[in-house]
Amino acid sequence: MSVSRFLYKLKKFSRRIFVHALFALLSSLHSYLGILLRQCAYPSIFGGFGAHIRIAPLVEFVNPLGIYIEPDVKIAQGVRIQCLGAASKIVLHSQVILDKGVDIKTHRSGRIKVGNNTYIGPFTCLSGDSISIGHDCLIAAHCSIYANNHRFSDPHTLIRLQGHSYKGITIESNCWIGAGVTILDGVSIGKGSVVGAGSVVTKSIPSFSVAVGVPARVIKRRKRRNSDSFRRSLTTA
């Protein structure tokens, strides 16, 4: 190994140790001083870090260089955000709120985006390689948004050894996802739609629909407003 290569690896390893030490020190501080210290220290170790971000204690970040947090985001205690895989990226746009215990994870080289003014409720899980959530969405507690599947076509090979497949999930702007909803890979939910509590979404749902059940089925359509300004406000980023 060349000297330059060794020094590069040493620098990378040292930064990793520094980041872990910084998180260990600052994430456990419960006082208002802890919030201020996190606001001061975190911008240097994230891919992007806006103003007026409030991060509660005991929040876990993995690979923060791939995590981009825009201004006025609020992250509650117990949230875990894992940006795994080469070139993965997680973006929380302005005024996103992640409630207690939310778990967000990319896989191989994934992209997860949460739009402006979106709320994600307690203990909801987002996992996969491509998840896009629009603006002004309400996602209730204990939802499961899984943009991946286990392959199992070979009965002679352990399922855990057959790898994954990835298609992606899109939830457009102004959607309300009820408590305990499961959204499976390959699904799109159109803007202005509502999904009832406990539903399992296996197929895409058109805009301005109300869907319930296992599997989720559209039971009615919401009336659209004619206002141009309202339509513009629903434009997906």
The catalytic site residues sit at: 150
**Which DSSP letter does residue 203 get?**
S
Residue 53 makes CB contacts below 8 A (sequence gap 6+) with 39, 42, 69, 71, 72, 73, 74, 75
In contact, 80 and 60? CB cutoff 8 Å: yes
Query: Alpha carbon of 43 to those of 13, 46, 47, 68, 235: distances in Å?
Result: 20, 6, 8, 10, 30
Please tell me the distance from the alpha carbon of residue 41 to that of residue 86, in angstroms, as a whole number: 25
In contact, 181 and 165? CB cutoff 8 Å: no
Strand, coil or helix: 138? strand
Phi, psi of 121 (to 5 degrees): -80, 175
CA 225 to chain centre: 30
Among all chains, which residue has been given the structure tokens 């407003």?
A: 225
Phi, psi of 159 (to 5 degrees): -60, -40
Please tell me the distance from the alpha carbon of residue 71 to that of residue 49, in angstroms, as a whole number: 7
